[in-house]
A and B are shown apart, each in its own frame.
Chain A
Amino acid sequence: MRARLVFTLAAAGDWALFAGRALVEAVRPPYEIAETLRQIYEMGSRSVPLIAVSGLAVGVVLSMHTRASLERFGAEALIPAGLALALVRETGPLTAGLLLSGRIGAGIGAELGAMKVTEQIDALEALAVDSFKYLVVTRVVACIVAVPLLTTVMNFTGILGGFAAESAATGMPFGMYFTHAFSLIHFSDLIPATLKTAVFGFIIASVGCHQGFTTTRGTEGVGQAATRSVVLASILLIAANVLLVRIIFFFYPA
């Protein structure tokens, strides 16, 4: 038990150093701009379908639940605004973060893990390329940029899903729904909640890269790296979310 605790703490410390180094190296030249842009494109374009479809589904479900609750109080008129607020402030960012920790985190863990066990990372170093900058920093920066953008996609498709459900239930027109939906949303609802997902992006990529870089034991290790990337990133993301929400409420009281 004690050995397990020591191992866990050592692994957490190792990840923290790894993640910190990624941040330091991100601001230190030379910059791998082309590779970073390629990673943003890869992460973004490949994740949009998942995020868009999930957003629609979440919007529909959220709308049904909101209707069931607000009907009791005769407050159906607040359904679009209530849904949009819930989506933009918490449901969208957290759902997008958890989905992307699976989609992107597992991908990074498996890709870098496979590169590690097939000596491709050693080959990069032997070719006089800084593998940490080329593989880790590019992915961490790309993920910090991509996750807020994908969260915005999820928020938008979620509101679309909400409109679809509301339109089916009451026949509410598109323009009216969106006017109501955005009537209660302020800067302090949208921007901090979206920007906090940059931290989610940092967690997802740094955990995935760390798991990939520390992969051992061949293909079995690659599978473990992918699984651990998702599990650890999800746990850290949920924990970080509690802290970030507290910080947002400190600066922008409800």
Chain B
Amino acid sequence: MAEVTAATIDAAGKETREVNRAIRQAAQEGATEIHVRNPAGRHSFGVALTGELHVVLEGPTGWYTGGMNAGPTIVIHGNTGWAVGECMMSGRLEVHGHAGSGTAASIRGGVVYVEGDTGARAGISMKGGALVVGGSVGYMSGFMMQAGTIVVCGDAADGLGDSMYEGTIYVGGEIASLGADAEAKDLIDEDRTLLETTLAEFGIDASSRDFTKVHSGRRLWNFSAREPELWASAL
């Protein structure tokens, strides 16, 4: 096992670019665990990083935290703002707090975990990977997702899975309403196994909730004049 070399960066009084450069610099100098103090709700920390890196943000962060990363693990101790982990290619991102709208937008791989709730459009346009939410998700989550998995342990607000092409959403609580062309299905054994293993990693017992599976009805894949209502409701 590689030796863990830690580095600490204080974000107070530094420009965002200075902080992100310092993270890269520390990584280049061999630090494998980098702590950022006083993020204070500011935007765009820990973005576009690659490799085996562990970045801990010791407080709430703003928008786009940990976006466009390939490989690193980002841990946020506090809330985070809009579009956390956007366009992540691989790696892991943990939010020990609540997240804003557009959580894990367009991720292609890796795992985004939110301990609390998310705002609207969680997992919008996901192209792979997994989003695990310990709490509830907001309006139109899973909108236009194309691949990957969303697991919501709490409730889902209106319009869940609207216009999703592919991928799977699991919801452990109430679904306020499904979006256009989203369909609820019963779980099969494979789903249960997947939920158990995915949630166990975050200390959540999958069997304590009665999950519903949601996936695409695929009726929006091709235009049909026979279903005008469906098309009228699709955005």
A is bound by B: no
Could you list which residues of chain A lie within 8 angstroms of chain B, going by C-beta atoms? none
Could you list which residues of chain B lie within 8 angstroms of chain A, going by C-beta atoms? none
